[in-house]
Chains A and B, each alone.
Chain A
Amino acid sequence: MPVRKWMLTRRVLGQAGAATALAAVVGRPARADRPYRIGALNPITGAGSTYGSGMQKTILFALEEVKRAGGVDGRPIEVYAEDTQTSPDAAVLAARKLIDANKVDAIIGTWSSSVSLAVLPITNEANCLLLHTSSAPALSTPAQNPKHLAWRFQAASHQIGDAYAAIAAHEKASRAAAMAFNNDVQIASVGFFRSAWEKAGGKLPNPVVYEPNRTSYAAELQQALSEKPDFLVVSGYVPDTSIILREAYEAGNTAKIVIPGWAMGPATVKALGAEVLEGLIVVDAVPDAGSAAFKTFDAAYRAATGNPGSSNIYAAMCYDMVAVLTLAMQKAGPSADNAAIAQVIPEVANPPGQAVSSFAEGRKLLQAGQKINYEGASGPIDFDERGDVTPVFGVSVFHDGKLEQRYLLK
């Protein structure tokens, strides 16, 4: 009996070993010429799965588009895809696999802040670019981003917070209040709202932090409304925001409510009805829906996923990541390393320069030796000195059953 067991064990171990060996062999493509390799590291499964597969598909079709336009001169591009599982540990191993086994030069499309924060030390160590859509302030501090290899395509928490304060000023609010979903991004946003608002001379009681996955937020709402504010920021996501909006309506709330755009989906209107939502203020670093880049992206996104491009702002960001990265590669030349590519990212994305909305357009102008300024699907894509995109926020008000854009905050 024991003998047979041991043999079975050895056989199992043997198979396991063979599998590893096979994995090691097939996982290492050996090529003489060195293409530029991009790792698409997105949240396909886990909490980010609503956006992740759209993000990855976008990266793939955007790179196809680059290829159709003639590609980056002297630089073939390969792409490798991985799943972060929206979990930092899984993402770390996936990033290591992309960097060490697939030898990627850039990782693009990490979504949640905890994943980006965990992956960032690895990309820095390997001199690999990291283009992400996370809003944690720590991601662009000199300590975490010493080589300027990380670029943020999403509004950072402080920018969102400042936008809330600007709206409060615009709406002539006198007593403001705030509620935040209990996570890094939302708490930081209302924290920055508070400091910006108090700097402007306003006062804000302690923001009410609420937990995910509750069936009612009546108690938290009551607490937030206890000082009779006329302006309330609710910084959360679709499910919790819907509950809060309904309960605020039922409680006869009169304060103007402001929510971020990602906290309102098509289902929100259907579920709550026009009456509940009347007067609701929605702020978002909206994709520049009029822009040419957005139209191209939207058509391709519909073809790839069957959904409108406006349903996935992070996919629009991924589209811009590919455009900015490839344009920077084009500008930096075929032998440039990542430090040189990173250095020219602001040169292709920021003004001055002729506005372009696609890789094809930009490539032609760059070949002619002109300056360009990429205007993207998720916004104008201009970076500050920390590598954070400076978004344009659109402020919309829900009126008569639909959302009407009222003004822009720049």
Chain B
Amino acid sequence: MQGYLTAVGTVGGIYALLALGLNLQYGFTGLINFGVVAFYAVGAYTSALLALRGVPFVLDFAAAAVLAALFAWPLGVMCLRLRDDYLAIVTLAFAEILRTVIVSEEWLTNGTRGIPGIPRPFSGLGAAAGGFAYLALVLAAMLAGVSLTVRLVGSPFGRLIQAIRDDEDAVRSVGKSPARCKLVVFMIGAGLTGLAGALYAHYLTYISPDQFVPLLTFYVWIAVIMGGAGRVGGAIAGAALLTLFLEGSRFLRDVLPFVSEVQMASLRLAAIGLMLILFTLYRPQGLLGRVAR
């Protein structure tokens, strides 16, 4: 059981890091990023490919975050001056384009065959201790993400981005450039997402393009919305709640013995959907909803 809980904690921590990145973009700045999975994939592939070439882990993780942020730059330059909706369209398309590129560029990514055998930090410590150490690493990354968000949001820059979210025209009228600020936030969020991707790749030790589908983007959106957009704790709470829904439902059959095994699998997904619907109906502002404005 302990190993399973460690695994759930690790995956939940990675979701939390993703949610922190998106929360910074959407919750605090109002950027609608539907391409979370693209930056996640950039981070995962960057770190995996570097690690397999013998580059130390620290540099792999750093490179994953930096490269994911750099991928965000041209997208931001192109569409952050436009209305919000365009960013949504462009990022969604970008994620699909990137996945197709990963599938096609076999010389680099091994195409649809994916990359097996990615080394994992602490694997020398044995299964249990190594799993714990990796969980600690993920939680440390998550806490770093939290402290970064807290510092950023509390700074004058943080007030500026929240003002952009609330009324962009007002910000422009006092002589600030919303586009530049949005670009910076977009890149920082992408960097956090890339770091999460790297942690994911080394955790799973195998990545392939079919792991980077839009569904993941929407999981992260669910986490942010359920947790409460625009609250630092919201991202963490949302990711925890999502993981609880996804994983807790596995044990449903133990309390519903009259349902057959095969039915349970489909019923489980239906139950997750129902929980999400009920949650958003009765708690639309999220678990830690933004204080009413």
Interface residues of A (CB under 8 A from B): 1-2, 5, 9, 12, 16, 19-20, 22-24, 26-28, 40, 44-45, 52-53, 56-57, 60, 79, 81-83, 85, 87-90, 92-94, 96-97, 99-101, 114, 117-118, 121, 125-126, 136, 138, 143-144, 182-184, 187-188
Cα-based distance from A183 to B111 in the complex (angstroms): 8
Q: What 4 A-B pairs are tightest by C-beta distance, nearest first? A: A83-B265, A81-B261, A44-B265, A100-B4
- B57-73 residues at the A interface, CB under 8 angstroms: none
Residue in A2, A19, A183 whose beta carbon sits within 8 Å of that of B244 in the complex = A19
Most central of A121, A136, A143 by chain B CB within 10 Å: A121
Residue in B262, B269, B287 whose beta carbon sits within 8 Å of that of A53 in the complex = B262
B250 interfacial by beta-carbon distance below 8 Å: yes
- B112-157 residues at the A interface, CB under 8 angstroms: 112-114, 116-117, 127
Say how far A402's CB is from chain B's closest CB, in angstroms.
Answer: 32
B74 interfacial by beta-carbon distance below 8 Å: no
Task: Known pairs A44-B266, A136-B113, A188-B113; list 18 more (Cβ under 8 Å).
Answer: A5-B289, A9-B288, A16-B244, A23-B248, A23-B254, A26-B254, A40-B261, A45-B269, A53-B262, A81-B265, A82-B250, A83-B268, A87-B211, A88-B204, A114-B206, A117-B208, A118-B204, A121-B205
Residue of A nearest to B11 (CB): A93
Say how far A82's CB is from chain B's closest CB, in angstroms.
Answer: 7
- Chain B residues whose C-beta falls within 8 Å of the C-beta of A182 in the assembled complex: 103, 112
Cα-based distance from A126 to B2 in the complex (angstroms): 13
Cα-based distance from A96 to B11 in the complex (angstroms): 12
Chain A, interface SS category: helix
- Chain A residues whose C-beta falls within 8 Å of the C-beta of B5 in the assembled complex: 24, 100
B265 touches A45 (CB 8 A): yes
Say how far B39's CB is from chain A's closest CB, in angstroms.
Answer: 17
- Chain A residues whose C-beta falls within 8 Å of the C-beta of B174 in the assembled complex: none
Residue of A nearest to B292 (CB): A1
Residue in B3, B247, B266, B287 whose beta carbon sits within 8 Å of that of A45 in the complex = B266
A-B contact count (CB 8 A): 132
Cα-based distance from A47 to B261 in the complex (angstroms): 19
Most central of B113, B114, B205, B215 by chain A CB within 10 Å: B113
Chain B, interface SS category: helix
* 23 A–B contacts, CB within 8 A, in A order: A9-B287, A16-B241, A20-B248, A23-B248, A23-B254, A27-B1, A44-B265, A56-B262, A56-B265, A57-B262, A81-B265, A88-B208, A89-B11, A89-B200, A90-B246, A92-B11, A93-B8, A93-B246, A96-B8, A114-B208, A117-B116, A136-B113, A184-B208
B251 interfacial by beta-carbon distance below 8 Å: yes
B98 interfacial by beta-carbon distance below 8 Å: no
B252-275 to A contact mask, C-beta < 8 Å, 1/0? 011100000110111011000000
Residue of A nearest to B244 (CB): A16
- Chain A residues whose C-beta falls within 8 Å of the C-beta of B291 in the assembled complex: 2
- Chain A residues whose C-beta falls within 8 Å of the C-beta of B116 in the assembled complex: 117, 138, 144
A56 touches B261 (CB 8 A): yes
B113 touches A184 (CB 8 A): yes
- Chain B residues whose C-beta falls within 8 Å of the C-beta of A144 in the assembled complex: 116-117
B210 interfacial by beta-carbon distance below 8 Å: yes
Cα-based distance from A93 to B11 in the complex (angstroms): 8
Cα-based distance from A12 to B227 in the complex (angstroms): 12
- Chain A residues whose C-beta falls within 8 Å of the C-beta of B211 in the assembled complex: 87-89, 114
Say how far B167's CB is from chain A's closest CB, in angstroms.
Answer: 24
- Chain B residues whose C-beta falls within 8 Å of the C-beta of A22 in the assembled complex: 251, 255
A20 touches B244 (CB 8 A): yes
B179 interfacial by beta-carbon distance below 8 Å: no
Cα-based distance from A9 to B247 in the complex (angstroms): 21
A100 touches B266 (CB 8 A): no
B112 touches A121 (CB 8 A): no
B251 touches A23 (CB 8 A): yes
- Chain B residues whose C-beta falls within 8 Å of the C-beta of A1 in the assembled complex: 292
